[in-house]
Amino acid sequence: MLLQCNATLAWRCPLCGELELNQISIFDFSGKNRLEIKCGCGYTKLVFGKSSSKKYWLEYICVVCESTHRVSLTQGEFWANRVKKIKCLDNGAELGYLGPYDDVKRLADQEEEYLKLMIDKLEFEDYFNNPEIMLSVLNELHDIAEANGLVCQCGSSDIDIDMLPREIRLTCNRCHGVTRISAETKEDLAFLRKIKQIKILEGVVSALEGINL
């Protein structure tokens, strides 16, 4: 087994929620048996310990079960050239990674991207009255626009699209004419699917608003 002299830790702070990468060297343990890893916010998020020349341990507060866990690793496991997944000891949820920099950074980036997608999805679902209908209406508008069917009476096709909880607002950037497309019910979606062209009336709210709402 190939042993390295350093390792990278990816760990999310249980206090501020920030995911950081920390470099750890075998020389950090010189003359001491305890190494505290602090977050940028100042919170001690994880503690490494060395019980002998060939035994290490790490202690951390689990953000999943809120318990304090302690995991033991041999010297070979701690410094091996592979990623160690640090988990909740109660349910096995992955909490962080320890290992070579490139591998740990890749996993940390994937976790951040997944978290961002989940947050975006939750915000989307919380904001709109009917997220599924909203997405379908957006798709229909995209198809209409692709077929050059989304225009303004003033001749401009430079149209802004704003999503509101119950509707989509279309605004001409040249004359500021506006139309609103309801995006809340199956009837709203069925109505839009019958339309080949949406023409915003020049400088005023489109007549389609009165029909659709």
Query: What does the block give as tokens for 11?
Result: 């760990």
Q: How many beta carbons lie within 10 A of that of residue 30, not counting itself?
A: 7
Last residue of a domain, one of 126, 157, 187: 126
Do 121 and 170 reside in the same domain of the chain? no
> What is the value of pTM for the model shown?
0.56
What number is the average pLDDT over the span 75-103?
89
Q: Quick: pLDDT tens for 5-61.
A: 889 999 988 777 788 999 999 899 888 889 999 988 888 999 999 987 789 999 998
Among 87, 107, 126, the domain boundary falls at 126
Within a domain: 74: yes
Helix (H, G, I), strand (E, B), or coil: what is residue 143?
A: helix
3-state helix, strand, coil in the chain (%, to 5): 30, 35, 35
Q: Among 78, 104, 126, where does a domain finish? A: 126
| pLDDT at 203 (0 to 100) | 61
Give the model's confidence band at 1: pLDDT under 50 very low, under 70 low, under 90 confident, else very high.
Answer: very low
At residue 4, the 3 state secondary structure works out as coil
Is 1 a member of any domain? no
Nearest Cα to 211, choosing from 186, 189, 185, 180? Answer: 180
Q: What is the count of structural domains for the chain?
A: 2
Co-location of 25 and 104 in the same domain: yes
Confidence at 3, pLDDT banded by 50, 70, 90: low
Are residue 46 and residue 122 in the same domain, yes or no? Answer: yes
24 with 120, same domain: the answer is: yes
Shared domain for 118 and 22, answered yes or no, is: yes
120-156 pLDDT, tens digit per residue, is: 776 777 788 888 888 888 888 888 887 888 889 888 8
Flag whether 81 is in a domain. yes
58 closest CA partner among 93, 19, 84: 84
Note whether 149 and 205 are same-domain residues: yes
Residues 23 and 100 reside in one and the same domain: yes
Same domain, 14 and 108: yes
Domain ranges, residue 156? 131-212
Q: Does residue 84 sit in the same domain as residue 97? A: yes
Give the mean pLDDT of the chain. 84
pLDDT on residue 119: 63
Is 208 a domain residue?
Answer: yes
Same domain, 81 and 136: no
pLDDT tens digits, one per residue of 43-52: 899 999 998 7
